[in-house]
A and B are shown apart, each in its own frame.
Chain A
Amino acid sequence: MPDATFTEPTTIGAPSGETVCRVVDVRKRFGAQEILRGVSLEVKAGEVLCVLGPSGSGKTTMLRCINHLEKIDSGQIWVDGGLVGYREHRDRLYELHEREVARRRANIGMVFQRFNLFAHMTVLENITMAPVLVRRQKRSLAAERARQLLERVGLGDKVDAYPSQLSGGQQQRVAIARALAMEPKLLLFDEPTSALDPELVSGVLDVMKELAADGYTMIVVTHEIGFAREAADRIILMDQGVVVESGPPAQIIDNPREQRTKSFLSKVL
């Protein structure tokens, strides 16, 4: 994709006003250490939110909480109109049955730092497994769709390869295709390029920019300031378990108000 199409990302897939994900005053501790200390944020449909911040600031934990891979200690997380992990009934919270948790997770795609492709399955099996098992799609239909998705991420010729035969960048693009196959309402990216060799990063970022332009709702934890500037509708900066600053890329990157944002950017830019 030529970069020119992305010069004004906010005009493509502009927020429609419908909230897909809302995080309200979320706290999470591991043992004695409080990783999230009251995080709130909101992502509207079609919006791309980039999360920046130093390591240990709670970015990844926040992402994992949205997918209920971690349980939160207090606060609320809403995805697609439903409370994550719980059901509210007459002012009481009930833990959701794992069947229900799984059903909701199916609508949230997640791309991991370490790809986590299923090592014993081919690329095609990696992508078709969940649509067939969870969405009850016909195998042939799922396979056809998987081929289209692979074509889209530029790996149409790797259908029958095993993950170990692919480079890191290729694996990550397969992982993105695997997430897309479930037609998620929200895509979570957990430092998707941090484990890649430098020359492989751009291939993955290009695919993500394309998704952003196509109107996918995305939360991207990243250290790629260039990507955030180009693809994000909004950027938040997290530090020590709280959101320090939030705003459009131009404001956060070029005119940060908070001292902590300034000092973080001075280290990474």
Chain B
Amino acid sequence: MVSNRELTDLQPEPTGTRAADIRAVPVRHPGRWLGAAAVAVLMAQLVHTLLTNHRFEWGVVGQYFTTKSVLVGLLHTVELTVLAMAIGISLGVILAIMRLSQNRVLSMTSWAYIWFFRGTPLLVQLIFWYNLSALFPRLSVGVPFGPEFISGSANAFITTYVAGILGLGLNEGAYMAEIVRAGILSVDEGQVEAAYSLGLKRVQVLWRIVLPQAMKVVIPPTGNQTIGMLKSSSLVSVISVPELLFTVQIIYARTYQTIPLLIVASLWYLAVTTVLTIGQYYVERHFAKGASRQLPPSPLRKLGNDLKAIYDARRYVH
């Protein structure tokens, strides 16, 4: 037993002023420091070789970085990415809705589409579309099994560019379908019931309630897919679509400056990826509306907070 008197002895004396902030020496982490040092040495080596290895031919990189043909190739790459993603996302939404339909024909068709386009390599699909005219020399629009309204040679419709967009877009649709489906399933059932109970119709519930709320789940992987698409679009170089990679390949086939021109292409891919990453951040912020009580701080604000934290920590130690 501890007597009352002893207990009161254990209580801190009220000092009248606020207790002083704790000033303690932080724990040291020699393991981490060793690791950081090793990484720093490797990084230094990398920078050194980038600067001193003349085979990088940085001059050539600079020379071609903004030539017209490279910029036109870049434009085509961006165009392919935008169009293929537009097809992919629209198709994805339709396929996701079909997949969740109570009609077995619709849901099974969607399932089979996803199965096929996810199950075969994109490169094979692209070459397939490129060679479509071998399978269907003539294409036509008309009544199924009935009269035709428009018809023509498949090669006239399916140019290499169209084959590229179709190949990328149709493949993307399969992946987007699963992403959109996950988004739709993430929306609480109660939201749908509340909307029905107010007299909304199925389509209205989907567009006004379910899809906007699914966006929160859909956007991050879609950003991922878009960045992936930017780079997958280089695959269409095999069917001679004059996008970024194909353009630099044409140039280095002539000049034999393979490495510097691949660097030119890579730098542009990195640049566009950076822009897309920033764009994704702001789209996410937009759709975070109502999801959390406060919007997350912007990246600049976060950087400021980090710097402040480091500054404060240093002040403690000294």
User: Which of A's residues lie within 8 Å of B, judged by CB?
Assistant: 67, 69, 98-99, 102-103, 105-110, 112, 114, 116-122, 129-130, 133-134, 162-165, 175, 178-179, 182
Pick the most buried of B191, B195, B290: most chain A CB atoms within 10 A of its CB. B290
Task: Return chain A residues, CB-CB under 8 Å to B193.
Answer: 69, 112, 116
Residue of A nearest to B197 (CB): A110
- Is the CB–CB distance between A116 and B199 below 8 Å? no
- Is the CB–CB distance between A118 and B194 below 8 Å? yes
Q: Pick the contact of A164 from B188, B190, B290 — CB < 8 Å?
A: B290
- Is the CB–CB distance between B199 and A69 below 8 Å? no
Task: Return chain B residues, CB-CB under 8 Å to A118.
Answer: 191, 194-195, 209, 213
- Is the CB–CB distance between A69 and B293 below 8 Å? no
- Is the CB–CB distance between A178 and B293 below 8 Å? no
Taken together as a complex, chains A and B put the C-alpha atoms of A98 and B291 apart, in Å, by 30
Q: Pick the contact of A106 from B190, B198, B209, B213 — CB < 8 Å?
A: B198
A116-B190, A116-B191 given as contacts; is B291 within 8 A of A105 (CB)? no
- Is the CB–CB distance between B291 and A102 below 8 Å? no
Task: Return chain B residues, CB-CB under 8 Å to A109.
Answer: 197
Taken together as a complex, chains A and B put the C-alpha atoms of A58 and B37 apart, in Å, by 68
Task: Return chain B residues, CB-CB under 8 Å to A114.
Answer: 190
Pick the most buried of A69, A118, A182: most chain B CB atoms within 10 A of its CB. A118
- Is the CB–CB distance between B293 and A164 below 8 Å? yes
Confirm or deny: B281 has a beta carbon within 8 angstroms of a beta carbon on chain A: no
Report the minimal beta-carbon distance from B194 to chain A, rounded to whole angstroms. 4
Taken together as a complex, chains A and B put the C-alpha atoms of A206 and B199 apart, in Å, by 27
Report the minimal beta-carbon distance from B288 to chain A, rounded to whole angstroms. 10
Taken together as a complex, chains A and B put the C-alpha atoms of A150 and B197 apart, in Å, by 20
Residue of B nearest to A163 (CB): B290
Taken together as a complex, chains A and B put the C-alpha atoms of A134 and B194 apart, in Å, by 14
Confirm or deny: B314 has a beta carbon within 8 angstroms of a beta carbon on chain A: no
Task: Return chain B residues, CB-CB under 8 Å to A110.
Answer: 194, 197
A112-B190, A120-B213 given as contacts; is B197 within 8 A of A67 (CB)? yes
Residue of B nearest to A188 (CB): B197
Taken together as a complex, chains A and B put the C-alpha atoms of A165 and B289 apart, in Å, by 11
- Is the CB–CB distance between A69 and B196 below 8 Å? yes
- Is the CB–CB distance between B289 and A69 below 8 Å? no
Task: Return chain B residues, CB-CB under 8 Å to A106.
Answer: 198-199
- Is the CB–CB distance between A98 and B290 below 8 Å? no
Q: Pick the contact of A130 from B188, B200, B202, B289 — CB < 8 Å?
A: B200
Report the minimal beta-carbon distance from A67 to chain B, rounded to whole angstroms. 6
Task: Return chain A residues, CB-CB under 8 Å to B190.
Answer: 112, 114, 116
Pick the most buried of A67, A108, A119: most chain B CB atoms within 10 A of its CB. A119
Taken together as a complex, chains A and B put the C-alpha atoms of A178 and B190 apart, in Å, by 15
Confirm or deny: B104 has a beta carbon within 8 angstroms of a beta carbon on chain A: no
Task: Return chain A residues, CB-CB under 8 Å to B199.
Answer: 102-103, 105-107, 130, 134, 182
Residue of B nearest to A135 (CB): B199
Task: Return chain A residues, CB-CB under 8 Å to B197.
Answer: 67, 69, 105, 108-110
A102-B201, A129-B208 given as contacts; is B194 within 8 A of A119 (CB)? no
Residue of B nearest to A182 (CB): B198
